[in-house]
Amino acid sequence: MMSPPAGFDPETVDTGTTPSRYTDILQTKKLMLGGTHRIHYDMDRDMLWRYDIVLDTHPNGMRFSVFDENGDLLATNEYFSVGGGFVVNEKTEGGFMRVSEELHF
């Protein structure tokens, strides 16, 4: 989950380096966005796991929201795991509903 924000392409990243990169983020409390912009990132403060909230579109989803230093919302997006290693959102080609309608559970 940390690879895309840290500027790594999930298709090509050497997954063997994930544990050391994760540890580095936890220890330094720094996260590189897009490979060019370093921000302060404290996982205990900045990552909220809301297991009590189920998103309306699909039960296996996550909402990511980004706030500025004043707590104002800058951007938000929802992502859904629909099986077979596929993760979609409303902007995914074909849209979420098209993908979910083709799945047979």
* Domain range enclosing 6: 1-47
Whether residue 16 is found in the same domain as residue 57: no
Q: How many domains does the chain have?
A: 2
Instruction: Determine phi and psi for 97, rounding to 5 degrees.
Output: -65, -40
**pLDDT of 85 strictly over 70:** yes
Pick the more confident residue, 8 or 103: 8
Whether residue 76 is found in the same domain as residue 89: yes
Q: How many CB atoms sit inside 10 A of residue 41's CB?
A: 19
**pLDDT of 45 strictly over 70:** yes
Q: How far apart are CA 44 and CA 76, in angstroms?
A: 20
To the nearest whole number, what is the mean pLDDT of the chain? Answer: 80
Mean pLDDT of 91-99: 57
Provide the pLDDT for residue 94: 55
Whether residue 93 is found in the same domain as residue 61: yes
Whether residue 62 is found in the same domain as residue 28: no
Is 78:56 a contact under the CB 8 Å cutoff?
no
Whether residue 63 is found in the same domain as residue 27: no
- Residue 45: in which H helix or E strand, if any? helix 43-46
Strands 37-40 and 61-67, how do they pair? unpaired
**Cα–Cα nearest to 99, from 85, 76, 75, 82:** 82
